[in-house]
Amino acid sequence: MKNEIPIYAIDFEGSKAIGIVEFGVAGILNGDIFFSDTKICAPKKSIDLKTRKITGITDFLAGQNPPFEAHCEMFSSLRQNGIFAAHNFHTEDSLLRHYIPSAGRVKNFFTGKDTLSWSPWIDSRIVSRQIFSVESEKLSDVVSELGLQDELDFYAEKICPATRKKWHCALYDALASALIIKLAIREVPNLNTLAEASKIETRESSLF
Protein backbone atom coordinates (compact mmCIF):
# COMPACT_ATOMS: atom_id res chain seq x y z
CA MET A 1 0.00 0.00 0.00
CA LYS A 2 1.06 3.59 -0.63
CA ASN A 3 -0.59 6.12 1.64
CA GLU A 4 -2.36 8.80 -0.38
CA ILE A 5 -3.29 10.60 2.84
CA PRO A 6 -0.29 12.19 4.57
CA ILE A 7 0.78 10.70 7.90
CA TYR A 8 2.73 13.05 10.17
CA ALA A 9 4.92 11.42 12.81
CA ILE A 10 5.41 13.81 15.72
CA ASP A 11 7.76 13.95 18.68
CA PHE A 12 7.82 16.45 21.54
CA GLU A 13 10.58 17.09 24.04
CA GLY A 14 9.50 18.70 27.32
CA SER A 15 6.54 18.34 29.67
CA LYS A 16 3.37 20.08 30.81
CA ALA A 17 5.38 21.65 33.63
CA ILE A 18 8.10 23.29 31.55
CA GLY A 19 6.36 23.36 28.17
CA ILE A 20 7.20 21.76 24.83
CA VAL A 21 10.82 22.83 24.31
CA GLU A 22 11.28 21.09 20.95
CA PHE A 23 9.03 19.55 18.32
CA GLY A 24 9.82 17.42 15.32
CA VAL A 25 7.50 16.38 12.48
CA ALA A 26 8.25 13.89 9.69
CA GLY A 27 5.60 13.40 7.02
CA ILE A 28 4.99 10.25 4.98
CA LEU A 29 3.16 10.31 1.64
CA ASN A 30 3.00 7.52 -0.93
CA GLY A 31 5.54 5.56 1.07
CA ASP A 32 8.18 8.31 1.17
CA ILE A 33 9.32 10.98 3.62
CA PHE A 34 8.09 14.18 1.97
CA PHE A 35 7.95 16.74 4.79
CA SER A 36 9.89 17.67 7.89
CA ASP A 37 9.98 20.49 10.40
CA THR A 38 11.55 21.05 13.79
CA LYS A 39 11.89 23.96 16.16
CA ILE A 40 13.25 24.58 19.64
CA CYS A 41 10.70 26.51 21.68
CA ALA A 42 10.84 28.85 24.67
CA PRO A 43 9.98 27.05 27.93
CA LYS A 44 7.23 28.06 30.36
CA LYS A 45 9.77 27.99 33.17
CA SER A 46 13.38 26.98 33.70
CA ILE A 47 14.23 23.63 32.08
CA ASP A 48 14.95 21.04 34.74
CA LEU A 49 18.31 19.28 34.96
CA LYS A 50 16.95 15.90 33.79
CA THR A 51 15.47 17.39 30.61
CA ARG A 52 18.64 19.38 29.93
CA LYS A 53 20.74 16.22 30.24
CA ILE A 54 18.42 14.13 28.05
CA THR A 55 17.82 16.67 25.30
CA GLY A 56 20.83 18.98 25.45
CA ILE A 57 18.44 21.96 25.39
CA THR A 58 19.30 24.78 27.80
CA ASP A 59 17.27 27.77 28.97
CA PHE A 60 19.56 30.06 26.97
CA LEU A 61 19.13 28.06 23.76
CA ALA A 62 15.38 27.68 24.09
CA GLY A 63 14.75 31.18 25.35
CA GLN A 64 15.82 32.72 22.05
CA ASN A 65 12.76 31.24 20.31
CA PRO A 66 8.97 31.73 20.38
CA PRO A 67 6.92 29.38 22.59
CA PHE A 68 5.31 26.26 21.17
CA GLU A 69 1.90 27.94 20.88
CA ALA A 70 3.32 30.15 18.12
CA HIS A 71 3.16 27.07 15.88
CA CYS A 72 -0.55 26.38 16.48
CA GLU A 73 -1.56 27.19 12.90
CA MET A 74 1.03 24.83 11.44
CA PHE A 75 -0.13 21.88 13.53
CA SER A 76 -3.78 22.62 12.77
CA SER A 77 -2.96 22.81 9.05
CA LEU A 78 -1.13 19.48 9.13
CA ARG A 79 -4.05 17.81 10.90
CA GLN A 80 -6.50 19.32 8.39
CA ASN A 81 -4.90 17.32 5.57
CA GLY A 82 -3.46 14.30 7.33
CA ILE A 83 -3.21 11.82 10.17
CA PHE A 84 -0.98 12.21 13.23
CA ALA A 85 1.32 9.47 14.49
CA ALA A 86 3.80 9.03 17.33
CA HIS A 87 5.69 6.41 19.31
CA ASN A 88 3.45 6.00 22.36
CA PHE A 89 0.99 8.57 21.06
CA HIS A 90 -0.63 9.21 24.45
CA THR A 91 2.35 11.40 25.40
CA GLU A 92 2.21 13.57 22.29
CA ASP A 93 -1.60 13.73 22.27
CA SER A 94 -1.71 14.80 25.92
CA LEU A 95 0.92 17.51 25.45
CA LEU A 96 -0.65 18.78 22.25
CA ARG A 97 -4.12 19.00 23.80
CA HIS A 98 -2.68 20.74 26.86
CA TYR A 99 -1.28 23.62 24.80
CA ILE A 100 -3.59 23.56 21.76
CA PRO A 101 -6.88 21.98 22.93
CA SER A 102 -8.41 21.50 19.47
CA ALA A 103 -7.38 21.25 15.85
CA GLY A 104 -10.63 22.91 14.80
CA ARG A 105 -13.04 21.03 12.58
CA VAL A 106 -11.04 18.25 10.89
CA LYS A 107 -11.78 14.90 9.30
CA ASN A 108 -11.36 11.53 10.92
CA PHE A 109 -9.82 9.90 7.86
CA PHE A 110 -10.79 6.43 9.11
CA THR A 111 -14.51 7.12 9.49
CA GLY A 112 -14.93 10.02 7.06
CA LYS A 113 -16.74 12.02 9.77
CA ASP A 114 -15.80 15.43 11.14
CA THR A 115 -14.25 15.83 14.57
CA LEU A 116 -12.67 18.50 16.76
CA SER A 117 -10.01 16.12 18.02
CA TRP A 118 -6.34 15.67 17.11
CA SER A 119 -7.17 11.95 17.12
CA PRO A 120 -7.17 9.30 15.86
CA TRP A 121 -3.42 8.68 16.01
CA ILE A 122 -1.30 5.87 14.59
CA ASP A 123 1.09 4.51 17.22
CA SER A 124 4.41 3.16 15.90
CA ARG A 125 5.00 1.46 19.26
CA ILE A 126 1.89 -0.67 18.88
CA VAL A 127 2.33 -1.10 15.12
CA SER A 128 5.83 -2.51 15.63
CA ARG A 129 4.47 -5.09 18.04
CA GLN A 130 1.30 -6.01 16.15
CA ILE A 131 2.75 -6.15 12.63
CA PHE A 132 6.40 -7.03 13.21
CA SER A 133 6.21 -8.85 16.59
CA VAL A 134 8.89 -6.61 18.12
CA GLU A 135 8.89 -7.21 21.87
CA SER A 136 10.74 -4.08 23.02
CA GLU A 137 8.79 -0.83 23.10
CA LYS A 138 11.91 1.36 23.26
CA LEU A 139 12.16 3.38 20.04
CA SER A 140 15.88 2.78 19.52
CA ASP A 141 15.42 -0.98 20.05
CA VAL A 142 12.57 -1.13 17.52
CA VAL A 143 14.63 0.74 14.92
CA SER A 144 17.56 -1.62 15.49
CA GLU A 145 15.46 -4.80 15.36
CA LEU A 146 13.74 -3.72 12.14
CA GLY A 147 17.06 -2.85 10.50
CA LEU A 148 16.18 0.83 10.09
CA GLN A 149 19.21 2.48 11.71
CA ASP A 150 21.09 3.16 8.47
CA GLU A 151 18.00 4.63 6.82
CA LEU A 152 17.33 6.76 9.89
CA ASP A 153 20.87 8.12 9.88
CA PHE A 154 20.61 8.80 6.13
CA TYR A 155 17.51 10.95 6.57
CA ALA A 156 18.89 12.56 9.72
CA GLU A 157 21.99 13.64 7.84
CA LYS A 158 19.80 15.25 5.19
CA ILE A 159 17.18 17.04 7.28
CA CYS A 160 18.08 17.20 10.98
CA PRO A 161 19.90 20.27 12.37
CA ALA A 162 23.63 19.71 12.74
CA THR A 163 23.57 19.23 16.50
CA ARG A 164 20.26 17.31 16.63
CA LYS A 165 21.04 14.01 14.88
CA LYS A 166 20.61 11.68 17.85
CA TRP A 167 18.04 10.12 20.17
CA HIS A 168 15.94 12.51 22.26
CA CYS A 169 16.18 15.14 19.55
CA ALA A 170 12.63 15.70 18.36
CA LEU A 171 13.02 15.41 14.60
CA TYR A 172 15.37 12.41 14.90
CA ASP A 173 12.81 10.60 17.08
CA ALA A 174 9.95 11.63 14.78
CA LEU A 175 11.87 10.28 11.79
CA ALA A 176 12.38 6.98 13.61
CA SER A 177 8.65 6.68 14.24
CA ALA A 178 7.91 7.65 10.62
CA LEU A 179 10.24 4.98 9.25
CA ILE A 180 8.55 2.29 11.35
CA ILE A 181 5.19 3.34 9.96
CA LYS A 182 6.64 3.64 6.45
CA LEU A 183 7.81 0.03 6.72
CA ALA A 184 4.43 -1.08 8.07
CA ILE A 185 2.61 0.59 5.17
CA ARG A 186 4.21 -1.95 2.83
CA GLU A 187 2.70 -4.79 4.87
CA VAL A 188 -0.95 -3.72 5.04
CA PRO A 189 -3.61 -3.36 2.32
CA ASN A 190 -5.09 -0.05 3.54
CA LEU A 191 -4.98 2.57 6.28
CA ASN A 192 -7.86 1.01 8.17
CA THR A 193 -5.76 -2.13 8.57
CA LEU A 194 -2.94 0.02 9.93
CA ALA A 195 -5.40 1.72 12.27
CA GLU A 196 -6.63 -1.65 13.49
CA ALA A 197 -3.06 -2.81 14.06
CA SER A 198 -2.47 0.37 16.03
CA LYS A 199 -5.64 -0.32 18.03
CA ILE A 200 -7.05 3.09 17.20
CA GLU A 201 -10.62 3.72 18.26
CA THR A 202 -12.21 4.85 15.00
CA ARG A 203 -15.73 5.08 16.41
CA GLU A 204 -15.04 8.37 18.23
CA SER A 205 -17.91 10.84 18.37
CA SER A 206 -18.29 13.10 15.34
CA LEU A 207 -19.68 16.58 14.90
CA PHE A 208 -22.65 15.34 12.88
For 11-66, the pLDDT digits (tens) are 999 999 999 999 999 999 998 999 999 999 999 999 999 999 999 999 999 999 99
Dihedral Cα 130, 133, 137, 143, nearest 10 deg: -110
- Domains of the chain with bracketed CATH: 7-197 (3.30.420.10)
What was the pLDDT predicted at 1?
Answer: 66
What was the pLDDT predicted at 198?
Answer: 74
What is the identity of the amino acid at 97? R
User: Which residues is 14 bridged to in the sheet?
Assistant: 20
pLDDT digits (tens, 9 = 90+) for 104-131: 999 999 888 999 999 999 999 999 999 9
Q: Which residues contact 6 (CB under 8 A, 6 or more apart)?
A: 27, 28, 29, 34, 35, 78, 81, 82, 83
Which pLDDT band, with edges at 50, 70 and 90, does 188 fall under? confident
pLDDT digits (tens, 9 = 90+) for 72-89: 999 999 999 999 999 999
Q: Which long-range contacts does 50-54 make (Cβ < 8 Å, 24+ apart)?
A: 51/13, 51/14, 51/15, 51/18, 51/21, 54/13, 54/168
Which pLDDT band, with edges at 50, 70 and 90, does 139 fall under? very high
What was the pLDDT predicted at 207?
Answer: 36
